[in-house]
Amino acid sequence: MAATTDVIEMFKYTYGAERLSYLAAQEIVAWRILSRKKSPVGGRGQWLLPVQTKNTGVWSGHTEGGNLTTRRSQPDTAEASFSLQEFHGIWDISWKMLQDARKSEYAFARSVEFMDSSFRRRNYRLLNADLIGTGRGELGILSAADDQVGITVRALPLVDLGLIVDLMDASDDNTLLGPDGAAVTAIDVPNRVITTGTAGSGTAAGDYFTFADSVTSAASLHLLGLLAWVDDANPAATVGNIGGINRSTAGNEWWQATDLGNSGTNRPLTEDLTLQGLDTTRERGGSMISDYLSNLALLRRYHETLRAETMVSFGSLKELDGKVGLGRDESGMKGGENSEGETIYKFSGIPWRAEMFFDSNKLVGLNREHLFIGHGENDVPRPISEIFDEMTPFFTLPSTAAAKFEVISYWQGELMGDNPPAHHIIRDLAES
């Protein structure tokens, strides 16, 4: 519960600073990209996608006056079925904090704005984590066993201070490996370490942090993520088959994305490998990639390759896309809360975007026209007082007796698509 003592520094002044370093980075690149295309899903929150899997008819040559072919070939179709995942968010505030804030009209408005904007930041960070995950809302994935209090993950952690997390066993998506509803107490960004005050126990590579109580073997209460869509295998059993279609069934290759892996052994990102991804996507999906997406570490590796090519070709130290010198034109690197991860880099004319929280050693090529956010009545999370007009107030009393108010938000959504072969993933790419 938010109390006056939690935000007393805010009440001391008549201005506020948004330099909230303790929140860590506020970028939500995947959400910004994918939410450009949103569509309401009516009825019971279901979307049914008919897919033609076979063409019809035969076409055969014949001799003059010869017999017509007796061969016949019939069409076939399949149906992908999607439903929306429900989400709710709650923040609470003590009666005392509200009353203390009401001593000044500005302080009251500021306190409510602070709480609401803080909640929205956390809310969208978690939605962004869902969108770049495998359907389990991974906030940090272990690269090796780590049974310490500070647990190292393989990419930039998606947690922020105070977030309540579980550490899940990836082998069954059910066993808790130490942190169980534990609050994050420290984040070491350069070393990729998450500290909760509870040591890991029996961990292994692939185990992951997720929001508390959101994943069990029975269900994963998260959106389908890009790493679920852009794959040639089914997601984890707790996530379920995308659209209810089993990618492992012979003949269902039309529901698989192109997956260029190297059996777990990292290799350099080469021009030929990246072109292979483009060509295979064109061959299988009949479409072109609109965006590349990777973390910053892989982008730096691409920069090294470009730098080496520049030296070989021109024998100079010209800054990439800018003036003379080492490095890059940083003004072309867009960051911040409203960024779509724009960079100065392209491959084959396709923009390469930096999603700094993206999983390690992976480059995804996606066609955003074949992915969209399906949603219910409200296209983004909103307080229930806005959704159900005049039926419920902004501040509601909690179900338990307590001297506080709660503010509840609600949203239904899912990452939906119609053509997995329109995307590809290149795995096992060296980052150093």
- pLDDT value at position 304? 85
Confidence (pTM): 0.88
In which residue are the tokens 């350069």 written?
A: 190
Structure tokens at 43: 């009825």
The helix or strand, by DSSP H or E, that contains position 126, with its residue range, turns out to be helix 105-131
Cα distance between residue 332 and residue 334, in whole Å: 6
**Regions of the chain where pLDDT drops below 50:** 13-23, 311-314
- pLDDT value at position 15? 44
Q: Cα dihedral angle (359, 364, 368, 371), rounded to 10 degrees?
A: -60
- pLDDT value at position 16? 46
Cα distance between residue 224 and residue 164, in whole Å: 21
- pLDDT value at position 370? 94
> How many CB atoms are closer than 10 A to CB 160?
19
